Each structure stands twice: as C-alpha cells, then as structure tokens.
Amino acid sequence: MNDLTRIDAGNHEVIVSDGLATALRDVFIKEQDPSGPYLVLVDEHTHQHCFRRLFELQGVMYHPLVIGAGESSKKLETVERICQIMMERKANRQTLLVNLGGGVVSDIGGMVASVFMRGIRYVNVPTSLLAMTDAAIGGKTGVDLHGYKNILGTFHPPLKTIVHPGFLKSLPEKQWKEGLVETWKHALIGDGSLWQKLIRDPISFDYEHRSNRKTSDWITQSISVKGRIVQQDPLEKGVRKHLNFGHTVAHALEAWSYNHDDYIMTHGQAVAIGLVCEAYVSQKLLGLEIQVVEELKSLVKTNLPALKINPESFTFLLSAMRKDKKSDGHGLNCVLLEQVGAPQFCMDLSDEHFLESFTYFNDF
Ligand SMILES: NC(=O)c1ccc[n+]([C@@H]2O[C@H](COP(=O)([O-])OP(=O)(O)OC[C@H]3O[C@@H](n4cnc5c(N)ncnc54)[C@H](O)[C@@H]3O)[C@@H](O)[C@H]2O)c1
Ligand SMILES: [Zn+2]
C-alpha cells in the first residue's frame, strides 16, 4: 500500500501516496536536515484531526502554527501574525514551511512563504479533497481583501505537494462534495476517461468510499489534469484559463448570493450550476453533445441539494459576468467546450444563450 505516484506540475512535483511516512521522507530527508525544526501551518480542525499523523515519520521535529478555520482567516492580518510568530521561533531563509490543511491553509501559507524574508521554501500537504486536486497545486497563493476573494496574492510554487488520501477520513461530507465538483470540471476540460468513470461508476465517488483504493486512482487523474495545464502555463497567460470553466457563471452567482441572500451559496454549489450553464452554452455555440450536458445536470441533481437560480438575479448575473476578474472588463468572455477534453476560451459572447441556460438549469 506504499505506492508513490509522481505528477509533474511544471515548477513543482506532486506526490500521491497511501503511505504518508514514505512520502514525507521522500521530501524531508532530501531537502533538509530532518531534525528540523519544521513549522507546520494548520487550522484548528487540521490541527485536531491531521497534525499528529505527521509523526508517522519519526525523528522530525514539528511545531504547529494554528490559525482559525475558514475563509475568514484569509486576510493580510493572518499573514502578518504568522510571520511574527515565525520570527519569534527564529525561522530563517532555510526554514521549510509545511502547509497542512485545506485550500485556506495552502493559500495563506503559500503567501507567507512568498514574502517571509523575500521568499522561503514550502511543502503543501493538502487534507481536503479540493486542496488535494486543486488549491495546493500550481503555486497560486493569496488572501482576500474586504470581501473580494484572492485579490492579494503571488505566484510562488511549493517545493512539493504531498497528497495522502488517508487524510480524507476525517473530512466532513459537505467539504467532500465541494471538492468533487472541481473534479467534474477537471474531467470535462481534460480527461474523457475520468468523465466516463464519473458517469458509469458514480458509487466510486461516494463519500462512504473516500478511503478506498479506487479513490487514490481518480484523485491522481484529477491532479494530472491540473498538473498538465499548470505545467504548460504556470503564470496563467493562456491555457490555464481553461481551469475557469464553470467559474464565470459561478463567480456571478457567488456575488449575488453574497449581496442578496441570507444563505450564502458555497463555491462548489455555484461551480456546479456554472458547469451546467456553461456546458449548455457550449452545446449551443460549439456543438458540445447534448448528452454531456444532460449527464452533467443529472450529476448535479443527484449529488447536491436542490439548487435554483433566482430569476430576479438574471440581469445582475449577466452584468457581473462581464466584470469577472478573468474577463477584460468589456465583453462577456468564457471558457466553453467543443467536446469533453477540448475547451476553448471564447470572447465577446452575447447574453442570449446564457439567459436560456439559467432557465434550462432551473427546469429540472
Ligand atoms: N490557490 C489556488 O489555486 C486555489 C484553487 C482553488 C481554491 N483555492 C482556495 O481554496 C479555499 C477553499 O479550500 P477548501 O475547500 O479546502 O477550504 P478550507 O481550507 O476552509 O477547508 C474546508 C474545511 O474543512 C476542514 N478540513 C480540511 N481538511 C480536513 C480534514 N482532513 N479533516 C477534517 N477537517 C478538515 C477545514 O478545517 C475547514 O473547516 C478557498 O479559499 C479558495 O480560494 C485556491
Ligand atoms: Zn473553483
């Protein structure tokens, strides 16, 4: 069970291993005096559920730096506070920071590593499905500013990302589903065989099966899609934009939900709706098979709570999509699919098919 898979993500490597100690040894022994000390950034949950698992690699000294769990920690004050504690602990330019947690921990820890003493090395050890397949790969770091997500950030790749699916045992089901949606996206933009697995063998992706051997296999496939894209375009000047499939609509939905609803739509739910809408527009404009759109809609229906797009939001959504961070500020730009595995960045699209797609989504 100690297999170790290596995935090249361009400026760093991702290791997927069921044997945590083997994977840690692979990095730590080669990179630094194992007597450390290693500063480990955790949030309160990963401190409780995951931190002690690091001790499977014996003889290494770990010191936890604990932050509050959740998106609200993603702010500059947290970066400053961590840097201050690191100075008190006599961290220096040789220090290796370990980010043990979900995407919030890897985004903040990556940012700390990029600015502390003008940049130190760090290793991501993701513990949520979303961080394993997405956030902890590719070297984008960041924090939020006054409610605007990831407005402050850097490109600073980790030395390695170590993915140990065993951490998923303690992950709550809600977080599992959040991560699964990004794997649907990876399958659609870059891996037809993963898409077929999702459709033909949905049981393998159930929360109850998160510790199965098969889980490591599809997680590896999902990581490979992101790794391949990041490798081609580390600074998001071209093909990396394909990772934004589903997100043009999703970001607009999140903005509406943030401003109008008591209930804030989660990122995963917004992306799930966005994938269906953008697949629908892909069918209209680029000839994506309608069967794919229907399969996707049914995945969303069976895996997520009943979701609807508020008809009062339609006009707001279209205008927000024109202002998306990934857009140029004028036309409506969006990644669409010609077929599974063949995304395209399309510019200056008209509203018409997006409007239809909102109704199509609501019409379950
Ligand atoms: N840098 C990137 O390229 C990139 C890409 C996608 C998302 N992100 C960022 O990632 C963040 C979302 O990541 P997330 O969904 O992992 O959120 P998160 O880090 O907040 O984790 C979700 C919750 O699960 C808990 N958790 C994580 N692993 C656990 C485990 N094994 N056992 C028990 N509890 C566990 C966390 O404590 C937290 O409460 C967002 O801030 C997003 O902007 C970054
Ligand atoms: Zn996303």
Which domain, by its residues, includes 279? 245-362
32 plus 124 within the same structural domain: yes
Dist CA 307 CA 123 (whole Å): 37
**Token pair belonging to 353:** 């098919």
225 plus 258 within the same structural domain: no
Q: What pLDDT, on a 0 to 100 scale, did the predictor assign at position 328?
A: 58
CATH of the domain at 331: 1.20.1090.10
Q: Is the CB of 68 under 6 A from ligand 1?
A: no
* pLDDT per position as a tens digit, 270-320: 999 999 999 999 999 999 999 999 999 999 988 988 889 999 999 999 999
223 plus 356 within the same structural domain: no
DSSP character at residue 165: G
For residue 269, the tally of other CB atoms under 10 A from its CB is 21
CATH of the domain at 202: 3.40.50.1970
Atom of ligand 1 nearest to the CA of 43: 37
Final residue in a domain of this structure, among 232, 262, 295: 232
Q: Is the CB of 229 under 6 A from ligand 1?
A: no
Dist CA 37 CA 197 (whole Å): 43
Dist CA 124 CA 106 (whole Å): 6
Cβ atoms of 108 and 82 within 8 Å: the answer is yes
Task: Give the chain's domain count.
Answer: 2
349 plus 228 within the same structural domain: no
334: which strand partners? 346
Find the length of the chain: 364
172 plus 40 within the same structural domain: yes
Ligand number with the minimum distance to the CA of 269 = 2
- In 3D, which of 332, 329, 338 has the Cα closest to residue 355? 332
| 48 falls within a domain | yes
| 240 falls within a domain | no
**Token pair belonging to 27:** 């990095």
Q: What pLDDT, on a 0 to 100 scale, did the predictor assign at position 34?
A: 57
Q: What's the N-to-C CA distance of the chain in angstroms?
A: 43
| C-alpha triplet 21, 106, 208: angle, nearest 5° | 65
Taking 60 as the threshold, does the pLDDT of residue 1 lie above it?
no
153 plus 283 within the same structural domain: no
| C-alpha triplet 163, 165, 167: angle, nearest 5° | 100
| 238 falls within a domain | no
Taking 90 as the threshold, does the pLDDT of residue 220 lie above it?
yes
15 plus 124 within the same structural domain: yes
190 plus 278 within the same structural domain: no
Q: What percent of the chain has pLDDT over 70?
A: 96
Q: Considering only 46-50, 52-56, 202-206, 259-263, which range has the smallest mean pLDDT?
A: 259-263
| 123 falls within a domain | yes
Ligand number with the minimum distance to the CA of 143 = 1
280 plus 216 within the same structural domain: no
| 237 falls within a domain | no
What distance in angstroms lies between residue 101's CA and the mean position of ligand 1's atoms? 7
pLDDT band for position 57 (50/70/90)? confident
Final residue in a domain of this structure, among 192, 208, 232: 232
45 plus 138 within the same structural domain: yes
Q: Which residues have a Cβ under 8 Å from the Cβ of 319 and sit 6 or more positions away? A: none
What distance in angstroms lies between residue 131's CA and the mean position of ligand 1's atoms? 6
**Token pair belonging to 216:** 């490591």
Final residue in a domain of this structure, among 199, 232, 265: 232
Q: Is the CB of 129 under 6 A from ligand 1?
A: no
227 plus 84 within the same structural domain: yes
| 287 falls within a domain | yes
| 32 falls within a domain | yes
* pLDDT per position as a tens digit, 63-72: 999 999 999 9
258 plus 208 within the same structural domain: no
Q: Is the CB of 104 under 6 A from ligand 1?
A: yes
Q: Is the CB of 160 under 6 A from ligand 1?
A: no
What distance in angstroms lies between residue 71's CA and the mean position of ligand 1's atoms? 8
